[in-house]
């Protein structure tokens, strides 16, 4: 199994080391830091292709090309009660933006259990995994586009 | 705007309380407010002052088997939140009170009849900009003693549901129309929870749970509107023996609450195994209009 990108691994390890109450507190803090996608990237109504399938918190993901072929990530969570989706989005934004694409593409979706613990309902966990999968998919597409460009050049 | 609860014509109006009522009873020692959500962070982010959390996964489910907690664990839970048999538990939560209704249903399996649901749930309280707190309240542990869980009155198991089907007794599928028709294995914008087959239990009526709720504020519709849906359109009668199901039993506990308490149906059971059980069972009847349509197209 490939290691998680450094910043994500550090965050996840910290969360895992905490007692439940402290872990929840840290996740709520992350949700509090969540900043919705800036208008220069997307405006409502958001395009359906950016919507995370299977997430009842109505989460959206946008990749933005950065220097050296890297990606940064932006998110929207339209359900005001979708606090877990906001927390996860902020964790992924802050820890994966600019990380090596190969590492982002290899992040396992079930990292949500390491982040939130095993107490997630199946519905909630699958919705959150959908957010991770959408980020992975963006990294994978960027890698494939780069490979295709390289092959044609 | 919703009518006052007492003016809505419910059969047992005392099981439903308004946000106003809750605001007036925040300091009432005979009341224990309990929040029950799907999102595990919501309660800790804020809650109604004095409310405890009853978590569906951690508190109400058996950690190993697919079943609910037994008598000893239920007693432990109620002692932890400082409730006695006389305490009125007032439940509320996210998702239009799905999980609150689930917890309410579970309380009835232990015959804790002193229970109510806050109409409109967490969202209504927040939207009305009422006070919230982050402090987790601590109550002196009680000496709660519970009877053994009684699954006979309000809970239906697989074999009972199969028998119900064979006897052609009324059954309600409260999932989305797409799930009912077999076009989806899960509700729209919701992940698939592991059912191998789509469709519905043959003969089940499709009455999505959300039809019982006013979309603007999440409150329950009044009795006349509910009767129109359940007894006029769908020809159910209050004396019928009814089984309701959904995906894992949370939405159907909401409908169970509507039928039993708001409309006064005398025999309603929640098949909590629901589609995640039935849709995986070998050799049970399934109706799938979507598959039949595909067959016709292929022919």
For the domain that residue B198 is a member of, what is the CATH number?
3.40.250.10
Mean per-residue pLDDT for B205-226? 96
Tell me, what's the pLDDT at B293?
67
Q: State percent of chain B over pLDDT 90.
A: 85
Which pLDDT tens digit goes with each residue over B126-139? 999 999 999 999 99
Q: Quote the CA–CA distance of B147 and B109 in Å, as a whole number.
A: 9
Q: Does residue B187 form part of some domain?
A: yes
Which residue is catalytic, options B33, B223, B246, B262?
B246
Q: Do B14 and B123 fall within a single domain?
A: yes
Q: Does residue B234 form part of some domain?
A: yes
Instruction: Say which of B58, B122, B191 has its CB closest to residue A126.
Output: B191
Q: Does residue B241 form part of some domain?
A: yes
Across the interface, whether the CB atoms of B40 and A120 are under 8 A apart is answered yes
Mean per-residue pLDDT for B139-166? 98
Q: Do B9 and B87 fall within a single domain?
A: yes
* pLDDT for residue B187 is more than 80: no
Q: What is the domain count for chain B?
A: 2
Is the dihedral angle over the CA atoms B178, A109, A32, B118 positive or is it negative?
Answer: positive
User: Which residue in chain B is spatially nearest to A88 when comparing CA positions?
Assistant: B41
Give how far A45 is from chain B: nearest CA, Å. 17
Mean per-residue pLDDT for B158-176? 97
Across the interface, whether the CB atoms of B45 and A120 are under 8 A apart is answered no
Identify the band that residue A55 occupies on the pLDDT scale cut at 50, 70 and 90.
Answer: confident
SS3 A98: coil
Q: Do B99 and B219 fall within a single domain?
A: no
Range name among B8-12, B87-91, B292-296 with the lowest pLDDT average: B292-296
Q: Does residue B145 form part of some domain?
A: no
Q: What is the CA radius of gyration of chain B?
A: 19
Identify the band that residue B193 occupies on the pLDDT scale cut at 50, 70 and 90.
Answer: low
Q: Does residue B137 form part of some domain?
A: no
Q: Do B89 and B195 fall within a single domain?
A: no
Tell me, what's the pLDDT at B194?
67
Q: Do B122 and B169 fall within a single domain?
A: no
* pLDDT for residue A24 is more than 70: yes
DSSP labels for A19-72? Answer: -HHHHHHHHHHHHHH--PPPTTT--SSPPGGGBPTT-TT-EEEEEEE-GGG-EE
Tell me, what's the pLDDT at B294?
63
Question: Which of residues B81, B106, B127 is at a domain's end?
Answer: B127
ipTM: 0.87
Decide which of A55 and A72 is more confident: A72
Mean pLDDT of chain B: 93
Q: Does residue B224 form part of some domain?
A: yes
Beta carbons within 10 angstroms of residue B265's beta carbon: 22
Is the dihedral angle over the CA atoms B24, B26, B31, B32 positive or is it negative?
Answer: positive
Mean pLDDT of chain A: 93
Q: Do B114 and B198 fall within a single domain?
A: no
Q: Do B105 and B172 fall within a single domain?
A: no
Q: Do B181 and B292 fall within a single domain?
A: yes
Identify the band that residue A56 occupies on the pLDDT scale cut at 50, 70 and 90.
Answer: confident
Range name among A88-102, A116-130, A134-148 with the lowest pLDDT average: A116-130
Boundaries of domain holding B168: 158-298
Q: Which residues contact A132 (CB under 8 A, 6 or more apart)?
A: A88, A92, A107, A108, A109, A111, A112
Q: Does residue B132 form part of some domain?
A: no
Q: Do B37 and B83 fall within a single domain?
A: yes
**Chain B hits for A28, Cβ within 8 Å:** 41, 44-45
Which pLDDT tens digit goes with each residue over B76-90? 999 999 999 999 999
Is there a catalytic annotation at residue B246? Answer: yes
Prediction pTM value: 0.91
Q: Does residue B149 form part of some domain?
A: no
Mean per-residue pLDDT for A43-51? 96
Q: Quote the CA–CA distance of B195 and B198 in Å, as a whole number.
A: 7
Across the interface, whether the CB atoms of A31 and B45 are under 8 A apart is answered yes
Q: Secondary structure of chain B: what % helix, strand, coil (to 5)?
A: 35, 15, 50
Q: Do B175 and B250 fall within a single domain?
A: yes
SS3 B52: strand
Across the interface, whether the CB atoms of B40 and A119 are under 8 A apart is answered yes
Mean per-residue pLDDT for B141-160? 98
Picking from B59, B47, B34, the residue whose alpha carbon sits closest to that of residue B135 is B47
Name the token pair of A48. Answer: 């359906």
Identify the band that residue A104 occupies on the pLDDT scale cut at 50, 70 and 90.
Answer: very high
Q: Within 13 Å, how many C-alpha atoms sit on residue B152's CB side? A: 2
Which pLDDT tens digit goes with each residue over B40-73? 999 999 999 999 999 988 899 998 999 999 999 9
Is the dihedral angle over the CA atoms B49, B250, B256, B237 positive or is it negative?
Answer: positive
For domain A6-147, the CATH class is alpha beta
Q: Do B104 and B65 fall within a single domain?
A: yes
**Chain A hits for B57, Cβ within 8 Å:** 119-121
């Amino acid at each position: 199994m490939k290691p998680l990108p450094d910043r994500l691994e550090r965050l996840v390890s910290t969360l895992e080391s905490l007692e439940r109450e402290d872990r929840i507190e840290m996740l709520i803090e992350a949700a509090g830091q969540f900043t919705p996608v800036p208008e220069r990237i997307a405006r409502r109504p958001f395009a359906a292709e950016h919507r995370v399938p299977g997430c009842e918190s109505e989460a959206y993901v946008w990749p933005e090309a950065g220097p050296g072929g890297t990606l940064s990530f932006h998110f929207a969570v339209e359900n005001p009660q979708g606090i877990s989706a906001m927390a996860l989005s902020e964790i992924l934004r802050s820890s994966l933006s600019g990380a090596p694409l190969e590492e982002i593409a290899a992040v396992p979706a079930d990292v949500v259990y390491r982040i939130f613990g095993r107490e997630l309902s199946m519905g909630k966990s699958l919705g959150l995994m959908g957010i991770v999968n959408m980020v992975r998919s963006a990294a994978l597409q960027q890698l494939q586009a780069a490979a295709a460009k390289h092959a044609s050049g | 705007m919703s009518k006052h609860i007492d003016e809505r014509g419910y059969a047992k109006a005392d099981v439903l309380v308004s946000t106003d009522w809750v605001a007036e009873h925040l300091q009432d020692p005979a009341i224990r407010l309990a929040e029950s959500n799907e999102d595990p962070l919501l309660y800790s982010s804020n809650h109604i002052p004095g409310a405890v959390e009853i978590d569906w996964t951690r508190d109400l489910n058996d950690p190993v088997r697919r079943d609910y907690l037994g008598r000893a664990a239920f007693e432990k839970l109620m002692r932890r939140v400082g409730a006695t048999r006389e305490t009125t538990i007032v439940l509320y939560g996210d998702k239009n009170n799905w999980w609150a209704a689930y917890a309410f249903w579970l309380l009835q399996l232990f015959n804790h009849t002193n229970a109510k649901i806050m109409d409109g749930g967490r969202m209504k309280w927040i939207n009305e900009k009422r006070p919230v707190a982050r402090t987790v309240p601590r109550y002196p542990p009680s000496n709660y003693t519970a009877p053994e869980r009684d699954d006979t009155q309000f809970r239906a198991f697989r074999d009972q549901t199969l028998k119900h089907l064979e006897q052609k007794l009324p059954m309600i599928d409260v999932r989305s129309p797409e799930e009912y028709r077999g076009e989806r294995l899960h509700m729209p914008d919701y992940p698939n929870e592991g059912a191998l087959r789509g469709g519905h239990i043959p003969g089940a009526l499709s009455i999505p749970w959300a039809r019982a709720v006013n979309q603007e504020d999440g409150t329950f519709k009044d009795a006349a509107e509910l009767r129109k849906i359940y007894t006029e359109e769908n020809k159910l009668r209050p004396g019928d023996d009814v089984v309701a199901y959904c995906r894992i039993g949370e939405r159907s506990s909401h409908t169970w609450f509507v039928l039993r308490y708001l409309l006064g149906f005398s025999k309603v059971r929640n098949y909590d195994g629901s589609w995640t059980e039935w849709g995986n069972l070998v050799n049970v009847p399934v109706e799938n209009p979507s598959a039949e349509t595909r067959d016709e197209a292929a022919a």
